[in-house]
Structure 1
Amino acid sequence: MTSEVTYAEVRFKNGPSSAEPKAPPGSETPPLSRFQKCKPWFPWVVSGFFMLLSAILLVVIIVILKGSPKKGSIKSQFQKSTAWNCLLKRPEGKEPQLSCCMGGLEQFGSSCYHFSKDTRTWNKSREECMEKGFDLVIINSDAEQGFLTNHTQNSQVENFCIGLTDQKGTNQWHWVDETPLDPMLAFWRSKEPSNDDENCVVMHIGKGKGNEMKNNWNDVRCSVDEHHYVCETNTVFFSI
């Protein structure tokens, strides 16, 4: 007896195999966020950084406020200080100002002056002034020459170096800022300048009256003869 074989059509749907059952809806595990992936100490580091930055900013603000005196208080602070000599000036059309020089300096116009107690050659005198942040004095007016003459007249010093020179030997006198000497503001003594090898200038302190006393410049050797000297710098202005 011949047996019959029956063929059946079997269709398979795409989907999970029986070994991997599909999870019910809503039970999927969400992907890890960036912060979940970070180290557990990371948020503390960030917080600490911002706290440190805030503290630094606070300190800076306090320092600025303390270092900026209120308007009207500058005058009293500088008047009490021995480190500054100040004059109250009232420029026309402007607010009053304090014109100040460091302690030990003399003030005239908008300049501060240091009159040395030691002696140097003209070249060394300029080096000493520049080390202090000054330079040898430049005389720009008849009034300034009168101030310097009057200030030095009572000293027991013979000569003070000033910032006038002809070190090129061309008989063309220049101030230390390279400004040429104005012939109308030249205060030479009689018969000066006298020697070709004397190319630097001192203010000679002598006796006399009027122009005889004010005309007191004398040429000297720049690197040989030693004299006292006058340094000059600008005053410092403060609004009040």
Structure 2
Amino acid sequence: MASEITYAEVKFKNASPTAAVEVPTQTKKHEHHPQKYPPWLPWLISLLLLLVCIALVILLGRGWLCCPNGWKRFKKSCYYMSVDMMNWAESEQNCTAMGSHLVVINTTAEQTFLTEELQQSPRGRNYYIGLTAQALGQWQWVDQTPYNESAMFWRSGEPSNVAVEACVVIHTNPKIHNWNDIQCGNHYRICEAAALIV
């Protein structure tokens, strides 16, 4: 005789619903790809970095040229255009106290640079340079640089070679030949010093 089986659905109060179980899908294994660059490339990069470092050491070893605040640099020199006036002797003493001397102009390029800088100056017309007459017509630079006729920038008709005009100024004139011998009264000045290496 066959027995009957009865199934019943039973619900319990406060029972939590059955949590759904997630079965992780099978992950694809990462394949290992061989390097796509040649094995000598890291060595080449290291060599290039070493060369860059050597170049920087050489450049930094030489240093940079710089000037004190308020001075203008041209090539290996610094120039200071004064804002006050003094006579020639006081001007030279003032430059010396700053570790410089009144400017000694050696080349056309330097003369051109100073002429252009003075065009921007709102000050007076005359600036002392480091050239004086030790005796009538015997011109001498303050740093004992020999007086070179071919590197002189006198205005037309100058120097007048008069005993009372023993000092030299550069005019704020756009023409490159702008020196004038004058009496050694109060004028502005240009000091020159070697540029600092840092």
* TM-based fold match above 0.5: yes
The aligned runs of 1:179-218 (5 Å cut-off) are 179-194=145-160, 195-206=162-173, 208=174, 213-218=175-180
Residue in structure 1 matching 2:98, options 132, 138, 153: 132
Give the secondary-structure state (helix, strand or coil) at the position aligned to 2:129: strand
Question: 1:148 deviation in Å?
Answer: 0.3
> Could you tell me which amino acid in structure 1 is paired with residue 169 of structure 2?
V
Could you tell me how far apart the structure 1 residues matched to 2:62 and 2:91 are?
36
Aligned to 2:130: 163
Question: 1:96 deviation in Å?
Answer: 5.5
Q: Indicate yes or no: 2:87 matched with 1:121.
A: yes
Could you tell me how far apart the structure 2 residues matched to 1:112 and 1:102 are?
8
Asked if 2 retains the 8 angstrom alpha-carbon contact of 1:138 and 1:163, the reply is yes
> Could you tell me which amino acid in structure 2 is paired with residue 107 of structure 1?
R
Give the secondary-structure state (helix, strand or coil) at the position aligned to 2:138: coil
Aligned to 1:236: 196
Give the secondary-structure state (helix, strand or coil) at the position aligned to 1:226: coil
TM-score by length of 1: 0.55
Could you tell me how far apart the structure 1 residues matched to 2:69 and 2:87 are?
26
TM-score by length of 2: 0.66
> Aligned-pair RMSD on alpha carbons?
2.0
Structure 1 residue runs of 4 or more that deviate by more than 2 Å after TM superposition: 94-97
> Could you tell me which amino acid in structure 1 is paired with residue 168 of structure 2?
V
Question: 1:180 deviation in Å?
Answer: 2.3
Q: Give the number of equivalent residue pairs.
A: 140
Asked if 2 retains the 8 angstrom alpha-carbon contact of 1:172 and 1:180, the reply is no
Q: Indicate yes or no: 2:57 matched with 1:97.
A: no
> Could you tell me which amino acid in structure 2 is paired with residue 120 of structure 1?
M
Give the secondary-structure state (helix, strand or coil) at the position aligned to 1:144: helix
Asked if 1 retains the 8 angstrom alpha-carbon contact of 2:101 and 2:192, the reply is yes
Show structure 1 runs of 5+ residues with no match. 1-71, 76-89
Show structure 2 runs of 5+ residues with no match. 1-52
